[in-house]
A and B are shown apart, each in its own frame.
Chain A
Amino acid sequence: MPAFSCAFPGCRRDLLVIVLVVFVGIGLPIEASAPAYQSHGTEGSHLTNITNTKKAFPVLAVNYEHVRKPFEIALWILLALLMKLGFHLIPRLSAVVPESCLLIVVGLLVGGLIKVIGEEPPVLDSQLFFLCLLPPIILDAGYFLPIRPFTENVGTILVFAVIGTLWNAFFMGGLLYALCQIESVGLSGVDLLACLLFGSIVSAVDPVAVLAVFEEIHINELVHILVFGESLLNDAVTVVLYNLFEEFSKVGTVTVLDVFLGVVCFFVVSLGGVLVGAIYGFLAAFTSRFTSHTRVIEPLFVFLYSYMAYLSSEMFHLSGIMALIACGVVMRPYVEANISHKSYTTIKYFLKMWSSVSETLIFIFLGVSTVAGPHAWNWTFVITTVILCLVSRVLGVIGLTFIINKFRIVKLTKKDQFIVAYGGLRGAIAFSLGYLLSNSHQMRNLFLTAIITVIFFTVFVQGMTIRPLVELLAVKKKKESKPSINEEIHTEFLDHLLTGVEGVCGHYGHYHWKEKLNRFNKTYVKRWLIAGENFKEPELIAFYRKMELKQAIMMVESGQLPSVLPSTISMQNIQPRAIPRVSKKREEEIRRILRANLQNNKQKMRSRSYSRHTLFDADEEDNVSEVRLRKTKMEMERRVSVMERRVSVMEREGRCDGEGGSV
């Protein structure tokens, strides 16, 4: 519930419009009249050139050029964030329309306004996109990637990412070429390679769009990780295909050797990217080992090493996205064992913040670029592209699932397949790749238009309808789960059990290799990468310690343990030194406060997990209040009983201390 309340019913809407108008109003005239001001700032001329006519000393002067670039950037970001704020003030809108759509519409409006004024609206510069806007989103995704579901499904994800994307690219490219051959379309100048290039650009599922839409529908973990993992891993395929066809379309011919080199290139790009990422990940982990005295800069190491991994792999034309993911995944367990709790929160906070801003900017710029960009419209081509996109995706998913299900234990149901197919959204990466095409391609404008149409279609139509469809088909939703020590222990037990059974059967399977990797990790890797004596700590203990720590913090925050500090080992072993006598009245008061807290949390609750909008899972907060209540009741009961025991002991000993009642 927004904290903002208003007397009039339409007041919120008016405020929104005012805000928009104010900012656009301030921003645009300044942009438009920017060249009018010149930059001086050299008062030295007064001293050296006394023959100059004496001007009045400028008390107030405007020097816009000086701050122009940062000013514009800050203004755009501010605009984006205010828009985001605005959407959530309008109550029913954000429930029906996904944020990404709204942002694109805003972008369209802003672009339109700029054009009406007569200025050239800025286009989403590909360099800006790939080097500044995309990395935070990918790092956020990679760092917080849920490892267990990802590794359990990695085979399926790879099949969808690699083979699925290849199928899409060739199917679309081929059919579009066939279309262009038809005389009536009027596009006979387009050759096969150009079509294949177009196919490869438009075939890749986009991680930004997927994240933006899927975040709001809370689909079950399996489908989420399938679509999301696919969108991340298909980057390698896209990079290779794009570069391949770009090269070839300049030359014009393809030989078998080229195709072979293309395949080799794919492996180099993907594995190379992962390797670069892993190296930087280990470097980051190693560095974090020594940061115990300079906690403040710990988060910076994480960010910078990851960004370096991205840039380094982009430098070699390897897959930057895979490098970033690999870096995040590799460094996370070791870095988290080394850094302080506050640094962890900072990293989490900053990553979510930057990725949120990036995502917002990307969608707004998409809207603006649509208004700005050169367009060449051809009904047949564009409509066919959109239809083919859908058709090839559906066929691809169905066909691949049929094959994959033979190897999977948990089969993919028809509903899962539908969501995977329908959730294959295209986004800004496709646009940027299209924009990168050099102007020598005569079809560039047509391609751009078609790409934008596909993006709009997938984001608007598929994005808006996926939520009602999920409800309609009763697809399994995400199960809420709180961290449970039982789950940890029993899961580990089951792992050991199954490894043992594999041993009995003499089978070198899945569990055997996982066990080997764990052992290697424990004996060699952790020793080097984790500070102090912590490397010997088994994961179960680390997990337990974190749980207890969290609980201790919550209990102190709720004011239930004023002077008694819990030992770091266990809450049960609290030595009750100064026990306040908790009267019934006080107890009731405390209970009332806690219950109010609980209700408060419930109101703020939006249960998401890979969420852009909350730092802690709302379930965690809810669980915390619940646990707080339970723990506090227990504590109070225990204290009361201890008190009673003490009193009875004292009575027995015939003494009468005044100790029983310090409040």
Chain B
Amino acid sequence: MGSTNSTLSKIPNVEELMQETGFTPAHIVRLYDRFEALDKEKTGHLRPQDFGAINRLAMNPIGDRIIGAFFSPGQETVDFHSFVRILAHFRPADKKRPKDPSMPEPVNSRTSKLKYPPLVFSLISVAFQLYDQDKDGKISRAELLQVLRSMLEMQVTEEQLESIADRTIQEADLDKDDAISFEEFRKSLEKVNIDHKMSIRFLR
């Protein structure tokens, strides 16, 4: 398609991006259009305010965390490449894609030490990172409290929140360090059908 190609040619290093994330040209174009729509001042970068302008994100209880996920620590802006890379985490891993051994492994098929299907690993690890704001690899009681507070939106007393947080940690915490590690987090979600959650067809 002519317009696709012309849009693609505007993006630097688009081939590398597609290889890395596994998005098709059509996806990249759609994301690029969205990126441009968000980037009102046409600087080629997105700032937190641009994300904040999205109404749906503003209404979302954890909207600010999601926005924060796009910006690596220390960075004030996010360019198109990082934008696409982050969104690639929410893509179901496509088993049919031919794996070119010379190319580096795509972003979301990290089959590292955990023998878990890549797509699930991705979503859970993103969720864990959003819980764990101080990046110490554990969800502490305070972090859990923060998340609960933002999800429950002032409709409960502090006491109730604390007891829920206590109960949650008590249930999940197997090594009794009063915090939830990634393994414990993953274990507590093993009964949940995560596969079904990956239904953002936009990104398939």
Measuring CB to CB, which residues of chain A are less than 8 angstroms from any residue of chain B? 149, 152, 409-410, 479, 481, 484-487, 489-507, 509-512, 536-538, 540-541, 544, 547-548, 569-570, 572-573
- The proximity string for B residues 182-204 relative to A, scoring 1 for CB distances below 8 Å and 0 otherwise, is 00010011011111111111110
> Which residues of chain B in 102-128 are interfacial with respect to chain A, using CB atoms and an 8 Å cutoff?
123, 126-127
Q: What residues on B are CB-neighbors of A149 within 8 Å?
A: 193
B202 and A502: CB pair below 8 A?
A: yes
Contact of B200 among A492, A505, A569 (CB under 8 A): A505
Can you list 8 A-B pairs with a CB-CB distance of less than 8 A?
A485-B171, A489-B164, A490-B127, A493-B62, A494-B194, A496-B61, A569-B160, A570-B160
Report yes or no: B56 in contact with A512, Cβ–Cβ below 8 A: yes
Across-interface contacts of A481 in B (CB, < 8 A): 191
**Residues on A with beta carbons closer than 8 Å to the beta carbon of B123:** 494
CB nearest neighbor in B for A482? B191
Q: How far is the CB of A200 from chain B (nearest CB, A)?
A: 34
Given A496-B61, A497-B62; A507-B167 close (CB under 8 Å): no
**B residues engaging A (CB < 8 A)?**
31, 34, 37, 51, 54-57, 60-63, 66, 70, 87, 90, 92, 123, 126-127, 130-131, 147-148, 151-153, 155-156, 159-160, 163-164, 166-168, 171-172, 185, 188-189, 191-203
B56 to chain A, nearest CB (A): 4
The residue on A at minimum CB distance from B57 is A503
Besides the known contacts A493-B151, A538-B156, 20 further A-B residue pairs in the complex with CB atoms under 8 A apart: A484-B191, A485-B168, A486-B172, A486-B188, A489-B151, A490-B185, A490-B192, A496-B62, A497-B66, A501-B66, A501-B200, A502-B200, A504-B66, A504-B87, A505-B34, A507-B202, A511-B199, A538-B155, A547-B167, A570-B166
Given contacts A486-B172, A503-B54, A505-B34, A544 and B60 within 8 Å (CB-CB): no
Q: Are the CB atoms of B156 and A569 closer together than 8 Å?
A: no
Provided the pairs A493-B127, A497-B62, A502-B202 are in contact, do residues A541 and B196 lie with their beta carbons within 8 angstroms?
A: no
Question: When the two chains form the complex, which single residue of B130, B151, B196 contacts A410, counting CB atoms closer than 8 Å?
Answer: B196
B187 closest partner in A (C-beta) = A486
List chain B residues, Cβ under 8 A from A573. Answer: 159, 163
> Which of A487, A499, A503, A510 is within 8 Å of B188, CB to CB?
A487
With beta carbons under 8 angstroms apart, the residue of A152, A409, A496, A570 that contacts B159 is: A570
Q: Are B147 and A500 in contact (CB under 8 A)?
A: no
Contact across chains for B195 and A409 when beta carbons are under 8 A apart? yes
- Note all chain A residues with C-beta closer than 8 A to B147: 489, 493
By a CB distance below 8 angstroms, the chain B residues around A548 are 167
Could you say which of A497, A498, A544 has the most chain B C-beta atoms within 10 Å of its C-beta?
A497
CB distance from B118 to the nearest CB of A (A): 14
Number of A-B residue pairs having CB atoms within 8 Å of each other in the complex = 145
Is A486 a contact of B168 with CB atoms below 8 Å? yes
Q: Which residue of B lies closest to A495 (CB)?
A: B197
Contact of A570 among B66, B156, B163, B171 (CB under 8 A): B163
Chain B residues within an 8 Å CB radius of A499: 56, 60
Residues on B with C-beta less than 8 A from A512 are: 56
Q: A504 CA to B86 CA in the complex, in Å?
A: 11
Cβ-neighbour of A505 out of B70, B87, B151, B195 (below 8 A):
B87
A409, B92: Cβ atoms closer than 8 Å:
yes
Measured CB to CB, the nearest residue on chain B to A630 is: B170
Q: In the complex where A487-B188, A512-B56, A541-B160 touch, is A498 in contact with B62 (Cβ < 8 A)?
A: no
- Among candidates A410, A505, A544, residue contacting B164 with C-beta atoms closer than 8 Å: A544
Shortest beta-carbon distance from A478 to chain B in Å: 11
A501 touches B87 (CB 8 A): yes
Complex A-B, nearest 7 residue pairs according to Cβ-Cβ distance, in ascending order: A570-B163, A503-B56, A486-B188, A507-B202, A500-B66, A481-B191, A503-B57
CA A509 – CA B198 in complex, angstroms?
12
Known: A409-B195, A485-B171, A505-B34. A500 touches B163 (CB 8 A): no
B37 close to A569 (CB less than 8 A): no
Bound-state CA distance A481–B163 (Å) is: 23
- Specify the chain A residue showing the minimal Cβ separation from B162: A570
CB distance from A543 to the nearest CB of B (A): 10
Q: Which residues of B contact A501 (CB under 8 A)?
A: 66, 87, 90, 200
CB distance from B132 to the nearest CB of A (A): 12
Residues of B within 8 A of A503 (CB): 54-57, 60, 63
B residues within 8 A CB of A502? 56, 200, 202
Report A-chain residues with C-beta under 8 Å of the C-beta of B189: 486-487, 490-491
